[in-house]
Each structure stands twice: as structure tokens, then as C-alpha cells.
Amino acid sequence: MLKKIILRIIILLIPMSGWGTPVFDNFFTGDVLRFDYLLSGNHISANVLQCEIKKEKLWSGSHNALIDNINYGTYRFKVYDDKSNELIFSKGFSPLFQEWQSTAEAKLINKAFYQVIRFPYPKASVRLKIEKRNFNGQFSEIYSTTINPDNYFIIDENPKNISVEEIQHSGEPTHKIDIAILAEGYTEEEMGKFVKDARRLTDSLFAVVPFSQMKEYFNVYALKTPSVESGTDIPGEHIFRNTLYNSTFYTFDISRYLTTSDMKNIHDMAAVVPYDHLIILVNSTRYGGGGFYNFVNVCTSDHNLSPKVFIHEFGHGFGGLGDEYYTSEVAYNDYYNLNVEPWEPNLTTMVDFSSKWKAMVDVKTPVPTPRNGKYVSKVGAFEGGGYITKGIYSPMENCRMKSNEVPDFCPVCQKAIREVIIENTK
């Protein structure tokens, strides 16, 4: 009897991390470990080449939601305690490289993209694994390394001296979602304009559901990072500007596609504030942008549709939402496997519709749902989405993830965004 009592006491004293729920203070400090690398390859290969490791201040993520239970992203990384082999942190993401892999160019050449991943600074040695989701939707490891946090080659330096304007403060960073908006293509003299633009576009985001209902979950900072010249590169028109983050239109030769690959410089600048998500605000009147899940969001400031683009791209970068349009020009080939469910919460191939939004469809609404206007206000399964006209279905006839004609996200996208907010502010 005594042995049983002692055994029960021992079980109760075992840290919760032993049961698959890591305890932050057991494994991490309040700082950040930043792992910089090149992701290189072609249409079939992906290779990781380490660049540098940095120690930064201000870990802003949740101390409770350390393991990614959402399972979004075409890539993910996992951090294991080296001694116990316990998984102590994980996160999914979608870099620009994974889109490039589906372009025609990727079949002709090899190319490298600069990448940055961040996680809480470990107290002891950890193993970092990077995994890629294959065409069949399964993850496989592409890289693994051991990191000793006491290694004196880990860079530990003060962040850049950058002026910051607080757009919104709702509470302690570890209990909020922290957004850093960085100025791109604004000169020193245009920093006043940048702050006004950042406030205006932030206001547009918090005017739509569900962000309007959950504004208190966010902190927003505007980082005054000046460029030598105003604007951005427009290669198709032979326009090039000397800007801080080297943003450019004509990504993958799509005129409206605005991106940047200068992730080293972006993260170096952002280190001055606690941040979970990055938005690069480009000083331009031209239409365009780009958004990548847990990676970066890019948008212009002064087109009349900039507020809608800002919201749309944040839907990608924050909510993991897929594009629902299917007739616009894209550079991708065979982007989705129609024999498996897309990981994006607002797209389905009907392979496993019950795992998506089937429960939200009224019994009177036919599935598939015809795009004839009769069900314009209903949640259904409308064929067309993810750049494909056949075989992929989206939740409504129209949504903020499909066009600029509607102001709001559809109910399915709203639900997905709410779940991400709640999961990351535990």
C-alpha cells in the first residue's frame, strides 16, 4: 500500500512537460534564438544551409502554446530538448521559396532564398529539425542540427537604434499578438507619412470581423526604418529604387506581385520590438502585395484598394488562409494535389470535407454549390479556388480572400482567424 502511495506522489510531482505539454520555464529563458539559413533547390529539391545564429531580446510569443496544434504551412520546424528528446516547440510557416518551387523557372535553375526562424532561447542544448510538406501532404525532414545555447559564436548584440511609434497597445506581449509594421521606400523626411499610413491601414484591419471583435488581442508597432529613395522596384517598367528591404513588383514575373526576400535585414530591424508577425508597408500608389503564413506580409500604402489588400495579405500571413480566386494570372504550376486536402482551412478538394467546414453548411444547401447567385449569402462548397477552376472548392461565392468586391471575410475564414488568435494568446 505504501509503495502505491509513493508512486502516486512521484507521478504528481513529474512536470507536465513529461506528458507532452512543455513548461516554458523548464526549457526556455525570456530571450529569442534566431536561426538564419538559406533555403535552396529547384522544383523537386529543398536544402538548408546555415548562415548564422543570433540571440535576441523580447520573446513575445505565448509561454503556453509552444507546440503548434493548428498544423498549417508548407514547412514547419521542431525543437527538441537534446537530453530528453522531448518536443518543446514547433511552428508551421510558408516561405516564398515554396511558391517559387512551383514556377516554370524552378525547373530550369537552382535558387536560394534567405530564411529566418525564431523560437524561445533554450536553457540547454536542443535539436532543431526543419520539415517540408510534400505533394501528398505529408511532412518529411530536410534538415537537423544541434544547438548549444552557450556557444560563444552565437551573435549577441544590441538591436538597431530605430524610432518606434506605438500604434496600439493592449497588454503584455506574451499574452497578445504583436505586429511590427516596417517602413519600406519611405525616406527620413517621409516618416510622418509612414506613421499615418500605418495607422490608417491598421484601422482598416480592425474594422473587419473578426479583428474588429478581437482588437484587444493585438499590439501594433510602426518601425521608422528610412530608405535612401521613395518607392519600390518595378522591373517590368525599368524602375529601380534604393530601398531598405529591396522590395519589388514583378515577383515571378507577375506585375502585381510585390515581395521582398531580404529577411535578414527585416529581422535585424524588427528586433527592436517584441513581434510575432511582420508587415512591410511599401510607399507606393501602385496596386499589389504578398502574404506568407508566419513569414512576412507586404502591401503598398496609397492605392485606393490598399486597405483591402492589407487585410487580404494579413489573412494569408496570419490566418493561413488560401487564395479563393481561380481566374487571375499566377505563375504556379500544379500547386495543389487534388487527391489530398489542402492544409489551408478555407479550401477543400472534397477528399475529406468533414475535416473542413462541412458542419457549417445548411442541410438545404447543395454540395457542390452552384455559382448562380442563388446561394450568394450561404456557406457551401463552390467550385473554384486556389488558382484552379476545377477540383478545389471554397466556402462562399465571394470573400475577402477572393476579390476586392466584398469588405469582409466569409464565416469560414472568420472562424479560422478566431482559432488562430485564441491558440496564440493562451
Strand residue runs (E) in 276-367: 277-282, 289-292, 296-300
C-alpha cell at 38: 538559406
What's phi and psi for 311, nearest 5 deg?
A: -65, -45
Give the three cell numbers for residue 80: 527538441
Beta bridge partners of 184: 282
Q: How far apart are the first and last CA of the chain?
A: 40
Distance in angstroms (rounded) separating the CA atoms of residues 279 and 52: 23
* Superfamily holding 15-156: Peptidase M64, N-terminal domain (2.60.40.3250)
Between 3.40.390.10, 3.30.70.2740, 2.60.40.1220, 3.30.420.40, what CATH number should domain 163-317 receive? 3.40.390.10
Element at 141 (helix H, strand E): strand 139-147
- Whether the ω angle into residue 159 lies within 30 degrees of 0, i.e. cis, is no
Cβ proximity of 181 and 223 under 8 Å: yes
- Helices and strands counted in the chain (H then E): 7, 16
pLDDT tens-place values along the chain, 426 residues long:
444 333 443 433 444 344 467 999 999 999 999 999 999 999 999 999 999 999 999 899 999 999 999 999 999 999 999 999 999 999 999 999 999 999 999 999 999 999 999 999 999 999 999 999 999 999 999 999 999 999 999 999 999 999 999 999 999 999 999 999 999 999 999 999 999 999 999 999 999 999 999 999 999 999 999 999 999 999 999 999 999 999 999 999 999 999 999 999 999 999 999 999 999 999 999 999 999 999 999 999 999 999 999 999 999 999 999 999 887 655 555 689 999 999 999 999 999 999 999 999 999 999 999 999 999 999 999 999 999 999 999 999 999 999 998 889 999 999 999 999 999 998
pTM attached to this predicted model:
0.93
Start-end ranges of CATH 2.60.40.3250 in the chain?
Answer: 15-156
